[in-house]
Structure 1
Amino acid sequence: MNDIFKAVIGGIALFTRFPVKTDKEGFHALAENIFVFPLIGVLIGFLVGMFSTFISQITLLEGIYPLAVIFFLYILTGLIHIDGLADLFDGLMAHGNIDAMKDTNIGIGALFSLIFYLLALYVSIENIIGLNLVVIFIFAEILAKISMVNLASLGRSIHEGMGSLFIDRISYRDIFLSYLFILPFLYLWGVKTLIYIAPVILADLVILLICNKNFGGINGDVLGAGNEIGRLLVLMVIGCIPF
């Protein structure tokens, strides 16, 4: 039980900007208990959902509501995952050059992916105004973290780093327990829940195919990209097919 608590603290330190103290032991506990990823997603989704619900009631912010939500999201979580998305596209534009993913300079692939992603996120958030935002954002963040679990469980690590810590240690227990977080939504929405989940799983498989072909595997940047793409897909589909 103590290891799980350390894993949660490690997850909060890694996935949010909360000033919690952890150490290598905390990150190793997180790597041994990856099923807590969706639990951190619940925390993030709840806070983003509460913020979204509050500002959606402020008439003066009506025109910039999605922008305010996006700003709050990345103030809360930091840019670690969206940086992974940018690095992934830089690597793909360099035809599988892993060094391009590590380059601190922003390439055209990164620039295009960030612009497209943020515009799509803006439109997706705009489309869910009027729905139960707390529930939606909790679900979206759970699926974003499950996307990382999927990629870690099916992918192979291409080099040592933070990503390999999770990719090399994930177990069937982590996968099973992660998906249990979806059960309350199956009760709420029934079969429609599967419609919201399917694009995320499909996207994970496509990401794996592309990364295996271009890089020979995945790394932490790919896990971060999966988090961002998973969140976006959930918000897009719910906006198009409300529950």
Structure 2
Amino acid sequence: MLTAVRGALAFLTRLPVGGDEAAWDAFRATPAAFVVAGYVVGGLAALPLLAPTPLPTAVAGYLLALYLVTGVTHADGLADCGDAAAAHGPATDRREVLEDPGTGVGGALALGLALLALALGGLGVAGAGPRIAVRLALAAEVSAKAGMAALAALGDPGHEGLGSAVVGEASGVALLPVVAVAAPAAVAAPAGSGPALVAALLAGPAVALLVGRWATARLGGVTGDALGAANELGRVAALHAGVVVWTLW
């Protein structure tokens, strides 16, 4: 597992963990490593939410820390999928759009709306107080990575690339450890926050399966860009699901 986690951190973050071929192969066969990486990313990104600063400043720090840790690879995947969604024609034409290094209107709109929704979700999370905010931010990241793991295990690979090298390498049975590793994100929760954390944990996989369904129908399979889009959208959905449940219940 440690080797798989090292591969996951090398693939999903910019942390200098020294990923090699052995780590990459172990990661491909171990979907639960996605979730462990989610704990690392979520914990680091949530640190600014503990600072005694105004809420907008804390949220700005959260966004900055998040993308310093993860880089922009997944956000670029979302932008590429936005361009593909805006394109007309068969799956082959949409895949050509994915490979275009430029960003069109569809990609800019998808990425812009996602970042706006992420910032608003972060503001809602920060307003719940530091203890709850950190737990929700952590659960959102774990949820997003659990969604990626589900997509990797259950999806059909698209065209050759990093995505096809990860998708389909493990069976659905490998999701049982994913659930086991993700569950602690909702355990020992501060009073009253349990339902919100559970809602956040469920949102990421739900969004990922929707992204996978779209990618299969429109792109001919789950690509690396689709995995990135599932990560970005899953995080946003998880934050908002947690905030809604925390606020209303």
C-alpha separation in 2, matches of 1:76 and 1:198: 24
- Residue number in structure 2 paired with 1:236: 240
Unaligned runs of 5+ in 2: none
- Residue number in structure 1 paired with 2:21: 24
- Residue number in structure 1 paired with 2:230: 226
Letter paired with 1:169: E
Q: Is the 8 A contact 2:56 2:123 kept in 1?
A: no
The answer to whether 1:177 aligns with 2:189 is no
Q: Is the 8 A contact 1:81 1:228 kept in 2?
A: yes
Say which of 203, 208, 212 aligns to 1:208. 212
- Residue number in structure 2 paired with 1:138: 138
Say which of 67, 76, 80 aligns to 1:83. 76
C-alpha separation in 2, matches of 1:191 and 1:70: 25
Displacement after TM superposition at 1:110 (Å): 0.8
Classify 1:110/1:194 alpha carbon distance in 2 versus 1 (closer, same or farther; 3 Å): same
Say which of 87, 91, 95 aligns to 1:94. 87
C-alpha separation in 2, matches of 1:190 and 1:240: 13
- 5 Å-filtered alignment, 1:28-47, equals 28-47=25-44
- Answer 1 or 2: higher relative contact order, Cα 8 Å, separation at least 6: 1
Classify 1:18/1:199 alpha carbon distance in 2 versus 1 (closer, same or farther; 3 Å): closer
Helix, strand or coil at the partner of 1:241: helix
TM-score by length of 2: 0.87
Classify 1:174/1:48 alpha carbon distance in 2 versus 1 (closer, same or farther; 3 Å): same
C-alpha separation in 1, matches of 2:85 and 2:159: 17
Unaligned runs of 5+ in 1: none
Identity %: 28
Displacement after TM superposition at 1:67 (Å): 2.2
- 5 Å-filtered alignment, 1:33-72, equals 33-54=30-51, 57-59=52-54, 62-72=55-65
Displacement after TM superposition at 1:30 (Å): 0.8
Displacement after TM superposition at 1:153 (Å): 2.1
Letter paired with 1:213: A
Alpha-carbon RMSD across the aligned residues, in angstroms, is: 1.9
